[in-house]
Amino acid sequence: MKQGRHICNTLKAIRKQIAETNDIHYEPRECHHEGDCAGTCPACEAEVRYLEGELSKRRRLGRAVSLVGISAGLAALQGCGLFRVFQPTAGIPVMPPEQQAKQQLVAADSTEEMQVMSKPPIITTDSIRPVKNDEKVLDGIVEEMPQFPGGDEALMEYMKKNIRYPDECVQGRVIVSFTIEKDGSISGAKVIKSVSQEADKEALRLVNNMPKWIPGKQLGEPVRTKYTIPVVFRLE
């Protein structure tokens, strides 16, 4: 699975950084696996054990070992909202593999199957990011924030009415970033935190099909504003 591969690549980058920092010869084994990836595998685990062995040798020889915090930025930069179950099966948060099939059948108090999607707050920063055409996209709080027509409740209603829950049993947070143009149209939607291919695709579809927003304003003038909607797909 794509997210497993993403985790695998991130962990590999961390291993490389540990090796380079401590002058350990380390060539990650080339992975030819084409099926589902759980983010780790016996080969990856063996590489971790190799690095641990090399670090132990260096300690025994009295050599300094650098480890704490050397990859602090890496996981943050590459962080994703994947909720991965105990290895090696993936897909549903905090549930042992043997119970995954059951999760799909779990309903709320009623007999109806429900889906719960959570929309955490908008992520903004106060930086200004230049774009190619020299129009600035305000990546943060503007005097008048852009608004979905009808407000947040209408946005929720839009999501509720239009969401097509992926067939796969998946839960987690998809974060979609996009720009609200001066005319309220949506552009540049992209997933910046992924859950699964299907969930990401659905999140993008929802964002791209949104009606025009009321654009953000600065000094009374419409401005292009970057907006981020983190969403969590949850099954009940």
Partner 1 sequence: MKAPLIAIARHRLSVDGDGVTTLVAFHGCPLRCRYCLNRQCWEPEGIWRWATPEELAEELMKDNLYFLATGGGVCLGGGEPLLYSDFIVQFCQLCPKEWHVYLESSLNVPTERLEAVIPCVHHYYIDVKDMNPDIYHRYTGGDIAPLLENLRFLADRQLQERVTLRLPFIPDYNTDADRQHSQQQLEALGFTNFDRFDYIVSKKS
| Residues near partner 1, by CB under 8 A | 7, 10-11, 14-15, 17-18, 39-40, 45, 48, 51-52, 55, 67-72, 74-76, 78-87, 93-96, 98-99, 102, 106, 108-109, 112-121, 152, 156, 159-161, 163-165, 171, 230, 232, 234-236
Taking the complex as a whole, how short is the minimal distance between the CB of residue 162 and partner 1, in angstroms? 10
Distances (CA, A) of 61 to 23, 47, 65: 14, 21, 11
Name which of 36 and 52 has its Cβ closer to partner 1.
Answer: 52
Q: Distance between CA 154 and CA 111 in Å, rounded?
A: 27
Name which of 79 and 188 has its Cβ closer to partner 1.
Answer: 79
CA atoms within 13 Å, Cβ hemisphere of 24: 28
Name which of 116 and 128 has its Cβ closer to partner 1.
Answer: 116
Place of tokens 């997210």: 3
**Cβ atoms 223, 113 nearer than 8 A:** no
Name which of 171 and 224 has its Cβ closer to partner 1.
Answer: 171
Taking the complex as a whole, how short is the minimal distance between the CB of residue 34 and partner 1, in angstroms? 20
Taking the complex as a whole, how short is the minimal distance between the CB of residue 45 and partner 1, in angstroms? 7
Residues 6+ apart with CB under 8 A from 210: 148, 155, 158, 186
Taking the complex as a whole, how short is the minimal distance between the CB of residue 132 and partner 1, in angstroms? 29
- Whether the upstream peptide bond of residue 88 has omega within 30° of 0, thus cis, is yes
